[in-house]
Structure 1
Amino acid sequence: MQKEAFQDPIPDNGCFGCGPHNEHGLRIESYWDGEESVCTFLPEPFRTAGPPQFLNGGITATIVDCHCVCSVIAHAYRTERRPIGSNPHIRCVTASLDVRYLRPVPIDGPVNLRAKIIESDGRKTKVASAQTLDFIDIGKPGPAAKQWD
């Protein structure tokens, strides 16, 4: 895997979920692992859902969303054979996300995410995403992101 996370070179990335310089954010980091992207998130105890042993559902959705959108951005740059963050900048936003919670996500260990680009037409990209601990189900065909200028 590469050493620099997808999120690091994205210009002006102040996102709560993935902005590397957002001091109040989650600061997830995503990397390529072959044709899939991976992210391991280590929840902090104050990210609780109420019961202290479970991760907040909104935080769960946020890490899935940010991991998938950053994977789409990385894919777009990789398709153009240029470094993430190079000019002209490629910006994407969430077009759809359907998260179904199968059971609470424990807060006392890593949350592992994987994503794979399954379809891209240049402006809209669909992602197959899986949380390897099987706590959530991502609706089919998976999250989608659109390029934004």
Structure 2
Amino acid sequence: MVAIQDLYDEKFSHCYGCGKSNPEGNQLKSYVGNGETLARFLPKPEQTGGVPEHAYGGLIASLFDCHGAASAAAFDYEATTGSLGENSQLKRYVTASLKVEFLRPTPMGEEIMIRGKCRSIDGRKVWVDMEISVGGDVCAKAEMLAIQLKQQTS
């Protein structure tokens, strides 16, 4: 199974959160299957927040940002072209709006699961609903509006 972010054009592979060409970044990898997207992430010790042993809120928002944009690209591709494969050419999406609801602190030292579901697609707009959980406990939810770039240039 290929990661959605690994299908981005090389000129879009530099993102700190999910870019395969950014060795200093988080290298988030999202996958699509069964009508949803899924990513797993283990926070680094330096990504702790103001409350000891918990991830900082900016990391949570960043995970939603990268996973949501990847999800939008995958949902659009599947709706218009078919199942993702190693040679799929994705349109690039960016975040237009991201609403995050922090439900409980996200613990460090445990794998974070990020799930996304497509709410709707309307032309270049894709709405994605997401949640972050650790050990089965939902820690945060998000709603994203992602917009397809008009011109696929750098």
**Which TM bucket (shorter chain)?**
0.7 to 0.9
Query: Is the CA contact (8 Å cut-off) linking 2:131 and 2:139 kept in structure 1?
Result: no
Q: 1:64: Cα distance to partner?
A: 0.9
Give the whole-Å Cα distance in 1 for the aligned partners of 2:122 and 2:50: 41
Q: 1:92: Cα distance to partner?
A: 1.0
One-letter amino acid matched to 1:129: M
Query: Is the CA contact (8 Å cut-off) linking 2:68 and 2:116 kept in structure 1?
Result: yes
One-letter amino acid matched to 1:91: R
> When the two structures are superposed, what TM-score results if normalisation uses the length of structure 1?
0.87
One-letter amino acid matched to 2:95: T
1:7 is aligned to 5
Query: Is the CA contact (8 Å cut-off) linking 1:18 and 1:28 kept in structure 2?
Result: yes
Identity %: 34
C-alpha RMSD of matched pairs (Å): 1.7
One-letter amino acid matched to 2:104: R
Give the whole-Å Cα distance in 1 for the aligned partners of 2:88 and 2:60: 26
User: Does residue 105 of the first structure (1) align with residue 122 of the second (2)?
Assistant: no
1:137 is aligned to 141
Give the whole-Å Cα distance in 2 for the aligned partners of 1:45 and 1:10: 29
Normalized per residue, which structure has more strand? 2
2:19 is aligned to 19
* 4+ residue segments displaced more than 4 Å: 82-85
Normalized per residue, which structure has more helix? 2
Matches of residues 46-85 of structure 1 in structure 2 within 5 Å?
46-81=46-81
